[in-house]
Amino acid sequence: MLHKHFDINDKGRDFVVGDLHGCLSEFESELKKLHFDYEFDRMFSVGDLIDRGEDSLGCLKLLDEPWFHPVYGNHEEFMVMSVIGNENPGLWFANGGEWCMDADAEEVKRLCSIIADTVPYAITVKTKNGDVGICHAQPPSYNWEDTLNPTYPAKEVMLWARTRIQHKDKTPTNGIWKTIHGHTPVNEPVQFGNAVYIDTGCVFGRELTVAEL
């Protein structure tokens, strides 16, 4: 799936969480602090649910929750290509994917299929302040509309690129109020132009960022 659009949430709150990387207990702690309402609130995710942390499978099972809405991250790409695409898993294992060796293979395959079939490269969420765009690494161009039907190179940018944050690029992306991303660890959330980066490296012992939209 390429893109999902969510209308304004007029019954609850909307949040976005940084890269989880298997840090399920830390995420659950944040939900408690927020008094998260599982019936009316929504949680969006910048992707990279898995690898390196203690409970990758538990984070994957968040896909079964109706309130949880992630985008596709590069670590999900590692997994899908290895489990469904039958690629050599060596690169995935080198980046934290060895947890799957001890996990239920059928359950991992089931969750991989959910990712491949339903998890988008980008999400647009309508808020009272304007539309918020979410993709894993950075927008594919300076026009958010290019996330709606991205080409293969654009998909690669959304999963892997770090050029904007590395160059502190303040050029705004048109057609969107703010964009939110993970992928590149930062000490604290940082904004350049209208792009906000929220992977604060929870899996490396730092805080997990959860922000209200």
Provide the annotated active-site residues.
75
The CA distance from 213 to 207, in Å, is 19
Residues 6+ apart with CB under 8 A from 196: 178, 179, 180, 181, 189, 190, 211
Rounded-to-integer distance, Cα 136 and Cα 73, Å: 5
Residue 146 DSSP class = G
Find the length of the chain: 213
CA distances from 136 to 103, 128, 193, 212 (A): 25, 23, 17, 17
- 169 class by beta-carbon count within 10 Å (0-12 exposed, 13-18 middle, 19+ buried): middle
CB 61 within 8 A of CB 112: no
Q: What are the distances in angstroms from CA 14 to CA 78, 141, 172, 178, 182?
A: 28, 25, 23, 14, 17
